Structure 1
Amino acid sequence: MPKLHLLLADAVAAALVTAAYFGFQDGGEPFWVVALVVAAIGPPLAVRRWWPLPVLAVVALGSFAALLLDLTREPLLPVSFVLYAVGLLVPAARAIPALVTTLIGTATVLLVASPDSLFGAPVEATVMLWVFLCAAWAAGRAVRVVRAREARREARRAEEALTGERLRIARELHDVVAHSMSLIAVKASVANHVAEQDPGEARDALRIIEETSRGTLTELRRLLGVLRSPDGAELAPAPGIDGLGKLAEHAREAGIDVKLSVDHAELPESLSLSVHRIVQESLTNVVKHAAAKHCEVVISVDEHNVRIEVTDDGRGPGAGSGGHGLLGMRERVMMYGGAFEAGAAPPGGFRVHARLPREVNP
């Protein structure tokens, strides 16, 4: 549906053209003839955006009649006005024939009209009017092409944003579930092996499984709350750099001796969440794949960057782990324009290093 201000502009143009054409009459023709011609030229302009092709047919016939009756003092501006709408709103398969038909009709009428009319000889008059008509149609066509190109760009941006959001949700789900399930699997295995020989240790393992499960459910509810909320408002604060101690404690409960060093600083919530997720995934890999005994996590914050380094004395996740953890961490870092490295540590073991700029928002 056309916008209201455009419809009002068309209505004003229709009123001005109607008044102007009534002013062109010099009394040589009966008033009813003039009124009929003016009614075909002026009022239809108000609805040119609704029905461009029918309006073009009516206005063109009225304008041709005005040429034959010598009632006009302008170069078919109402027809040009409608041809702009045809070029803008009508597909090329119908817009081009409409233009060609109008041009042929104009030339035919000028050949029949008096050669000493306002527009001069038929050939010169035809060329002049064709320039006006083609320019109006081409202007509408150009605007249509620009709008279509912009619409395609907007659709592409929307699709890219949707893809990015899906990847973000996938990373969040992977980070939350993988970390917790790894710890639960380790503790369930411990409880299964020591249930008869050491019931106390089995109860401790079950307690850790219960606490981890509850924490995971809380995080999943928070994440689902983001998806369900119309404005994306979160139901609980997102985990951040202050929650790294809890991650380290979970890893210790899985049997890893974790040393944690953190420079606490005020960070944007999204950046703090990314730091948390990178450390969480690194510790998940240590628990699941590394077969490590010791792990060190160092978070250093300066004026420009946040640096994350996680090293262990195990073998690392390896090529056959089949997970997406390292890829997810790399994507998080690249989203900020940072740097990411993961591989064997020189003394033995595995090392993850990430640098995130503090002043760049994803």
Structure 2
Amino acid sequence: MIARLHLYLVDAAASVVIGVLVAYAMVEHQEKPWWLVVPGATLVAFPVAVRRRGPVVALAVSTLATVAVVVGQVLPVVALGAPVGAICFALYTVAVERNRTWSLAGLVFATVAVSGVSGGEPETWLVCVAVLGAVWAMGYTTRLRRSFLQRESASQAEQALADERLRIARELHDVVAHNLSLIAVQAGNAAHVRSPEHAYEALQVISETSRAALTEMRGLLGVLRSDADLVPSPGLDGLAELADRASLAGVRVTLDVRGEAVVPEGIGLSAYRIVQEALTNVVKHAAPAACAVLVEVTAEAVRVEVADDGPGVKELGVGHGLIGMRERVAVYGGTFGAGPGPDGGFRVVAELPVR
């Protein structure tokens, strides 16, 4: 709003200057009475002050007023400089704000009018075409540049939206994979145990896990469907809950978080999802097993290590889990490794630089 007001003040100042110059030329060269000078100068110069409101009307009024004061011998031909300045202001605005058809029509109209009242000689035509054509070219170039920037901005916004939706899809995959793995394990336990107490505990875990999964899924899907506010992203402070859930699924988890737990939100979310996916893989492929989760936070990086003592794997899979972890690390230019541990089992190591 302030920038817009500033532009209007500049236009008003230009209008006053042009009006004073036109009025001075009328009095100096023709000695015309004030009741001719004031209306004539106002009609020539005032459209400059309102050219942003109606550029086509401003151009038409300034041009016709210039023709009228020259033909009516109120303004001498030798003093056409100031009125042409007003016409140039309006023509530039038409070239910027209106399409090519309107701006070219305005250019032709202004060139014919100014050339006609200035004598119509060939050299006059050339000067008018050169001056007004240059003004039109600057305005039209500005219009093209603004159009390009608008398209580029729209393209960037669409790309940002697509990236955000892709990120949310990955978050949804992490949520579903982790919680459904826990539910599947507990459902299998409930189907095979003979003790009603153990079956009840398994069903209780299924109930709590499914409710948590549904809540998180609703939040993510709500973002895709509307412009709802995002809930706080999980971070390092949510690792304890992840460890508790994995323990309920038969994986003995020891969690060790070293250093200051306050990290950038993106780093914290990536570390959380890496631990979540790693624990999901342990639950799916190694349970029952023991798993150690180590998170080291320094001023330079966040290092995540998840190691289990399960049977390990003969070859790495190509599912979304390991790929997703590797991509999260790559976003921050970190390092990622996954494979058999030195003492057996499976180990995931990721380092996320803190920028």
Whether 1:297 and 2:303 are equivalent positions in the alignment is: no
For 2:209, which of 196, 204, 212 is the aligned residue?
212
For 1:88 and 1:53, locate their aligned partners in 2 and report how far apart those are by CA, in whole Å.
11
Residues 290/140 of structure 1: CA separation in 2 closer, same or farther (3 Å cut): farther
Instruction: Look up the equivalent residue of 2:170 and give its one-letter code.
Output: R
For 2:233 and 2:116, locate their aligned partners in 1 and report how far apart those are by CA, in whole Å.
75
Residues 251/64 of structure 1: CA separation in 2 closer, same or farther (3 Å cut): same
Which residue of the partner structure matches residue 282 of structure 2? 286
Shift of 1:198: 2.0
Which residue of the partner structure matches residue 88 of structure 2? 80
Residues 216/36 of structure 1: CA separation in 2 closer, same or farther (3 Å cut): same
| Matching of residues 141-290 of structure 1 within 5 Å | 141-194=140-193, 197-216=194-213, 219=216, 232=229, 234=231, 238-270=233-265, 271-289=267-285
Residues 17/269 of structure 1: CA separation in 2 closer, same or farther (3 Å cut): closer
Shift of 1:79: 0.9
Consecutive unaligned residues of structure 1, counting only runs of 5 or more, are 113-121
Greater mean alpha carbon deviation, residues 64-73 or residues 160-169:
64-73
Instruction: Look up the equivalent residue of 1:268 and give its one-letter code.
Output: V
Which residue of the partner structure matches residue 312 of structure 2? 314
Greater mean alpha carbon deviation, residues 24-33 or residues 274-283:
24-33
Which residue of the partner structure matches residue 65 of structure 2? 62
For 1:193 and 1:60, locate their aligned partners in 2 and report how far apart those are by CA, in whole Å.
93
Shift of 1:180: 1.7
Which residue of the partner structure matches residue 106 of structure 2? 98
Instruction: Look up the equivalent residue of 1:18 and give its one-letter code.
Output: G
> Is the helix fraction higher in 1 or 2?
2
Shift of 1:83: 1.1
Contact 2:43 2:65 in 1 (8 A): yes
| Matching of residues 109-128 of structure 1 within 5 Å | 109-112=117-120, 122-128=121-127
For 1:331 and 1:29, locate their aligned partners in 2 and report how far apart those are by CA, in whole Å.
80
Residues 200/230 of structure 1: CA separation in 2 closer, same or farther (3 Å cut): same
Q: Which runs of 4+ in 1 moved over 6 A?
A: 28-33, 221-231
Residues 51/222 of structure 1: CA separation in 2 closer, same or farther (3 Å cut): closer
* Identity %, equivalent residues: 44
Deviations, residues 323-345 of structure 1 (Å, cap 9, x unaligned) = x3334323322332323334566
Consecutive unaligned residues of structure 2, counting only runs of 5 or more, are none
Deviations, residues 305-356 of structure 1 (Å, cap 9, x unaligned) = 112222443337723x5xx333432332233232333456677654432210
For 1:163 and 1:45, locate their aligned partners in 2 and report how far apart those are by CA, in whole Å.
44
For 1:53 and 1:154, locate their aligned partners in 2 and report how far apart those are by CA, in whole Å.
28
